[in-house]
């Protein structure tokens, strides 16, 4: 299967007064047609920088990005970037700040169509109405302003705007994180339905592992600018190789009995991207770290079909899987306590 989007060795450094921030370092992945790939990690891991680099909203310092085999060259000029942005689009986290409060919904969703195709009048309105309908909003909203809508409806409008140029790939940057708990499901279900009807691919950026499990096919776990593990969501979450992935999973609180008192947090905090550890960035927090880990960052290597990890001491399947006997014992002790 040929990849729709392919990213190779993407790198982005930000200069700052205190030194260079290595935001993204040597990140490679591909998104197949119709697939949802999730980028997960904590704040500062570089997931949003990857998204912005893909859209050329910031200029990466290195690496290749191609769409349907055609590479976007750094010096391609405005025209190439404009054409590029018609194929992929983004929905931002906060629909309260991503929609211009002074624009009517008609203009918000219509603006990309005017800029890209110069549409006007009746054809423009028809397209806008069509995209609003795709997200479940009626034509009666055309002349309203963003403040007249709830958070969930605003995010629908942001999705309609992203769909306006009929892109093949949508980048979703924490699209439900700013929404009320009771409306998150509406947006997640809408995204899944749109994917089925329009054949879209998603790059889903999130720190919420439960949401990722619900929506994504494959997952890339990032830590301090690098991908530390990659694979199908189901198998990575069931039996991760990388101790950081295990730690993330064990940090997610749950309502399910048996998992409720199961939190096993990773000790320590994320190191500064200004001054990252020389070797594996996770080594200072890792219980399995050895001297070798501190020498050089381990490369991302294939471990099993579709799976890869960047760890010198990966967890074996039995250790990685959540429900080992020892865990069940601690579970029970936890509940009794």
Partner 1 sequence: MSEILLEISDLRIEFRSLEQTVQAVRGCNLGVVKGEVMGLVGESGSGKSMTALACLGLVPPPGHVTGSVRLDGREVVGAPEADNRRLRGSTAAMIFQNPGKALNPFFTIGRQLTDAIATVRGLERGSAERTAVDALTEVRIGDPALAMQKYPHQLSGGQLQRAMIAMALSCQPKLVIADEPTTALDVTIQAQVIVLLRDLARVHGLTVLFITHDLGVVGSLCDRLAVMYAGRVVESGPVDALFANPAHPYTASLLRAVPMLGRGRMTLTQIPGTVPNMAAPPPGCAFHPRCPIAQPRCASDDPASRETAGGRTVACHFPLSGATAPAALRGVAS
For residue 105, the minimal CB distance to partner 1 (Å) is: 17
CA distance 244 to 298: 14
CA distance 174 to 204: 7
For residue 310, the minimal CB distance to partner 1 (Å) is: 18
Give the nearer residue to partner 1 in terms of CB position, either 27 or 249.
249
Give the nearer residue to partner 1 in terms of CB position, either 42 or 111.
42
Write the DSSP string, 169-190: EEEEESTTTTS-HHHHHHHHHH
Give the nearer residue to partner 1 in terms of CB position, either 176 or 308.
176
Q: Degrees (nearest 5) of the Cα angle 221, 223, 228?
A: 50
CA distance 284 to 270: 9
For residue 190, the minimal CB distance to partner 1 (Å) is: 9
For residue 159, the minimal CB distance to partner 1 (Å) is: 16
For residue 260, the minimal CB distance to partner 1 (Å) is: 5
Contact 95, 161 (CB under 8 A): no
CA distance 239 to 318: 8
Strands 301-304 and 226-232: unpaired
Give the nearer residue to partner 1 in terms of CB position, either 71 or 234.
234
| 36-40 sheet: strands from edge to edge | 88-91, 169-173, 201-206, 36-40, 218-223, 226-232, 307-309, 301-304
Give the nearer residue to partner 1 in terms of CB position, either 124 or 236.
236
Taking residue 34's Cβ as centre, other Cβ atoms within 10 Å add up to 16
For residue 238, the minimal CB distance to partner 1 (Å) is: 9
Give the nearer residue to partner 1 in terms of CB position, either 119 or 270.
270
Give the nearer residue to partner 1 in terms of CB position, either 46 or 60.
46
For residue 150, the minimal CB distance to partner 1 (Å) is: 4
CA distance 174 to 167: 19
Residue ranges binding partner 1 (CB under 8 A)? 42-43, 150-153, 180-186, 188-189, 192, 207-211, 213-215, 234, 237, 247-257, 259-267, 269-270, 322, 337
**Which runs of consecutive H residues, i.e. helices, occur in 69-208?**
77-85, 105-117, 121-134, 151-163, 181-198
């Amino acid at each position: 299967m040929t990849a729709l989007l392919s990213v190779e060795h993407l790198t982005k450094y930000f200069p700052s007064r205190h030194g260079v921030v290595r935001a993204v370092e040597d990140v490679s992945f591909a998104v197949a047609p119709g697939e949802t790939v999730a980028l997960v990690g904590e704040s500062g891991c570089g997931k949003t920088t990857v998204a912005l680099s893909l859209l050329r909203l910031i200029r990466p310092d290195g690496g290749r990005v191609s769409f349907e085999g055609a590479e976007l060259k750094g010096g391609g000029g405005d025209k190439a970037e404009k054409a590029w942005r018609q194929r992929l689009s983004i929905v931002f986290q906060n629909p309260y700040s991503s929609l211009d409060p002074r624009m009517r919904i008609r203009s918000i969703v219509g603006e990309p169509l005017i800029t890209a195709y110069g549409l006007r009048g009746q054809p423009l309105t028809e397209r806008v109405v069509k995209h609003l309908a795709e997200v479940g909003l009626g034509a009666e909203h055309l002349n309203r302003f963003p403040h007249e809508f709830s958070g969930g409806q605003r995010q629908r409008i942001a999705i309609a705007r992203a769909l306006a140029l009929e892109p093949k790939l949508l980048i979703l940057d924490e699209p439900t994180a700013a929404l009320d708990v009771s409306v998150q499901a509406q947006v997640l279900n809408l995204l899944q339905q749109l994917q089925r009807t329009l054949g879209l691919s998603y790059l889903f950026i999130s720190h919420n592992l439960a949401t990722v499990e619900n929506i994504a096919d494959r997952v890339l776990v990032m830590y301090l600018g690098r991908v530390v593990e990659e694979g199908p969501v189901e198998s990575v979450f069931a039996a991760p190789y990388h101790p950081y992935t295990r730690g993330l999973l064990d940090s997610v609180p749950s309502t399910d009995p048996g998992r409720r008192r199961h939190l096993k947090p990773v000790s320590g905090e994320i190191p500064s991207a200004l001054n990252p550890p020389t070797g594996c960035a996770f080594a200072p927090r890792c219980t399995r770290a050895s001297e070798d880990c501190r020498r050089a960052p381990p490369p991302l290597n294939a471990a099993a079909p579709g799976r890869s990890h960047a760890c010198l001491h990966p967890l074996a399947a039995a250790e990685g899987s959540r429900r080992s006997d020892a865990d069940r014992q601690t579970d029970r002790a936890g509940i009794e306590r």
